[in-house]
Structures are given as structure tokens and as C-alpha cells.
Structure 1
């Protein structure tokens, strides 16, 4: 298994120019022909933020201080996560002609989707930092931990992306199942509310969701100016590493029949 992982990483490195080209192409074509173009990178999360900021404090009687920023710093990484899974699930099938015609490490297809959405998240920080400062949040040196938290989320998303993209080639209902699961997952992650609203026993169970320490980590370094909870993040990192290893194994096993199944 170790040899397989090393070989995969080496292949990705060898084809890094192809990966960069696909990501660049996806970024350029995502909003091509639309009136607002690249601005949709900012408009979509801002619209969601506006709706959630109005609806959820009313429904939940939420008195969270600076609720729009409490929500915003969690919503953007969640969008990165879910759009990565949704896009990566169909990535191999969507590039069936390419898969059948030339050789390249197929793992680049789901990887490119996750990378594209990572870049979109980074672009989103262009409005996150000014918004935090505008609402009176003081940024501290702990914001330097942001890349670490983002990397853990990236690894976790990549692992799931590999599994889903490989299985979707055979099981086309998976796309619809994932849409439902991510919707449920959203409400099991403290994005629109703090985990403290739950009874302690329920909060403990929800805490096993690996996205909880990741989302809390984003809030810690961006909103509260604190260092992340490393004990909790270590759990998410272990889950992320296990997931990406399983992802490579599942992808390797299914990749052999991609051409036939497509």
C-alpha cells in the first residue's frame, strides 16, 4: 500500500502541469458568459450569508454576537467542502472521452476539482478579512494557523472525492445520494449555530463529525483570534489521512475497469 501511494504521488507530480492546466481551465470556464463572471465567486456565499443571517437567528432565537461573521467564516469552508464532493463525484464520468483516449493518472480528475474549489475559497478570503475588520473583529497572529486547518480539510475532501468519483462510474445514483447526505451533514455541523445549543450528550456525539473541529478551527483563528484546539484537530487530521489512504486504494481498485464501465 505504501508503495502504491508513493507511486501515485510521484505520478501526480509528473503530471502537475496537466493538473494546473485543468484547474486554470475550470476557473476560467466556470463563469464564462455570465454577466457578473468572476464576481459570482463572492455573490453566491454573500447571498447565502444574507438569507441565513435573517432566517436562522429568528428561527433559533439565536443571540450569537456578530452572527453574520460567526456564520460567514464557517460557511465558506463548508461551501469549499461540499462543492468539491459534488463536482468530484461526476468528474471521471464527465471526462469519459479523455479517459478512453489517452493515458494520464485518472486521480488528477477528482484532484483538480478539489484544487479548483480550494482556489475559490482562497479568493473568498478577499472579502472575509475586510468583512471581519469592518465588523470590529481584531485579527491576531493565530490567523497564521489558517493554512494548517485548510490543509486538513483539503486532505479530507480529497479522500472522499477519490472514493465518490471511483464509485460513481458504476453507481450513478450516488450523485443524488450525496446531495441528500451533504444536506443532512450541513445540519450536523455547527455552521448556522453553535454546538453549545445541544445537550452535552448530543454535542459529544456530534463532535465525532470530523468537520466539527475543522469548522471550529476556522472560527477560532479568524473570529476569536485564538489558536485552534489541537487535540480536536488531531482527530480530524487522523480521519482525513485515513480517508485519503482509503480513497487512493478504492480509486486504484476501480480505475482498472473505468474504460469498460464508461
Structure 2
């Protein structure tokens, strides 16, 4: 007599804690996340002659253009090319990873309905791909920094902390926008436009000290203002991270990630059928 093998049954209605269950399931699919990151990094430049070098050339090209245009205007900044590039590295990582994560979750409904896996896997893999590209882009930054007379210090290695916090904030925001975008797809398109304005409301190509005091007060409510400032401290200014700024950025990153994770985990089933 053959023994009947129980068939696993998934019932989302019996989830005790959707956020915790989503987290546990995501840990079980860590190999899939690594595979998606490896696929995205290699496939993006597969047919390109320069291949993955485009990851480094893209921010360099933007830096050269902006340096030529604004170097005389902001000549008070010592090593202006490195100043711009340090901001562009963070912003490119944030904007590209957020948009990639949102699009994969909002428009991936067909695959979601065919096979089960944690929906957050796509968002996390987008962040992972962005981190790889960011680390590769640090190579030309080091060269540019040395070329413009901004030698690196041992504090450079503190950059790991802002990269982790920026990644957490990016993931949390992508989960929030994707959750809303599934019900209201126009939000995704509006977010792309908002990103363009957001960039110029953040001190990336201009120094903070030219901003009027009344406007700078509003900048304090801009999360990327604090995160980019934290990123620049060790790599551009060569300074150690000071606790107050780390505390502010940690609060921003943790709050955004936790909020995004809770909202997204409660909508995972709806995302599969609406997207």
C-alpha cells in the first residue's frame, strides 16, 4: 500500500503576520535573488562592445558635461568634478534602483500568476543590481578624486554605512510606490517626473551654502539631502561619520523600509492579480 504524500497548500488568509511571513519567504528565496542580480548585471551589457564598463562611463559622462557647464559658477568648491560625481553616484543608484524595482513589481503580474515566489524578491534584486553598479562606479570616482587633488583617507571605508542606509531607504520607497502603483498605475509615471524635480531639489550639482536659509529649512525634510550628505562625508570630505547625521539617516532608512515592507506585504496577493 503506497503512502499518500501530502500536497502543500498555500492559504494567504491564514497568514498570522504578512510582514513576517514575507520576510521568512524572502530568506528562503535568497538564491533566486542572487541569480536575478547576476542575470541583470550580465544581461544589461551583454551585446555592448564595452560591456560592463558602461556602468562606470555613464556617471563619468554626466560628470564631464556638468563640470564644463557649472565649474565656473561653483568655482568655490575645491575638486568640483569629484563633488558632482559623488552626488551622481548616489542619485543614479537611488533613481535607477527605485524605478527598476517598481516596474518589475507593477508590470510583472503575468509571471506572478504563473508561479509563487515572494513578490519582494524583484525589488530586492533591483537594489542588489544597483549596489553592484554603484561599487563598480566607485572605481572611476577614486581616479577622478585623485586627479583633482582630493586624496582619499582611511575614512573612505566608512562609505559602507551610507550605502547600506541608502539601500534600505530605496527598497522601502520602491515597495511603497509599487503598492500604490498597482491600484493607480498613473502614480508610477508621475513618480518618474517627480524624480527629475527631486534631483534638482537636492544639492548634487550645487553646494549647500548657496541655498537661502529659508529654503534650506525645507531641504531638511528631503531624505536624499541627508543621505547624500552622509555619503559625501567619508569619500569627498574625508571625514568620519558623525553620530547625529548617522542617527537621522538611520531613522529615515529604517522607518521607510519598515513602512514599505508592512504596506507591501499586506498587498502581495492583490499585486499578483492587479499587475
The reply on whether 1:244 has 2:257 as its aligned counterpart is yes
| Separation of aligned partners in 2, 1:80 and 1:24 | 17
Structure 1, residues 34-81: CA drift from partner, whole Å, max 9, x if none?
A: 2322121012111111111111235x4543211100111111011000
Question: 1:210–1:235: 8 Å Cα contact kept in structure 2?
Answer: no
Deviation of 1:99 after TM superposition, in Å, equals: 0.5
The reply on whether 1:51 has 2:96 as its aligned counterpart is no
Relative to the length of structure 2, the TM-score reads 0.88
Pick from 143, 167, 172: which aligns with 2:180? 167
The reply on whether 1:132 has 2:145 as its aligned counterpart is yes
Matching of residues 192-231 of structure 1 within 5 Å: 192-231=205-244
Relative to the length of structure 1, the TM-score reads 0.93
When residues 102 and 135 of structure 1 are mapped into structure 2, their CA distance, relative to the original with a 3 A threshold, is same
* More moved, 208-217 vs 66-75: 208-217
When residues 61 and 139 of structure 1 are mapped into structure 2, their CA distance, relative to the original with a 3 A threshold, is closer
Q: CA RMSD in A?
A: 1.8
Question: 2:37–2:126: 8 Å Cα contact kept in structure 1?
Answer: yes
Deviation of 1:187 after TM superposition, in Å, equals: 1.1
| Separation of aligned partners in 2, 1:62 and 1:131 | 17
Question: 1:220–1:226: 8 Å Cα contact kept in structure 2?
Answer: yes
What's 1:23 paired with? 37
Specify the structure having the higher radius of gyration (Cα): 2
| Separation of aligned partners in 2, 1:220 and 1:40 | 26
| Separation of aligned partners in 1, 2:273 and 2:157 | 47
| Separation of aligned partners in 2, 1:188 and 1:6 | 36
The reply on whether 1:149 has 2:156 as its aligned counterpart is no
Question: 1:145–1:221: 8 Å Cα contact kept in structure 2?
Answer: yes
Deviation of 1:190 after TM superposition, in Å, equals: 0.7
The reply on whether 1:10 has 2:24 as its aligned counterpart is yes
Deviation of 1:194 after TM superposition, in Å, equals: 1.1
Structure 1 gaps, min length 5: none
Number of paired residues? 260
What's 2:85 paired with? 72
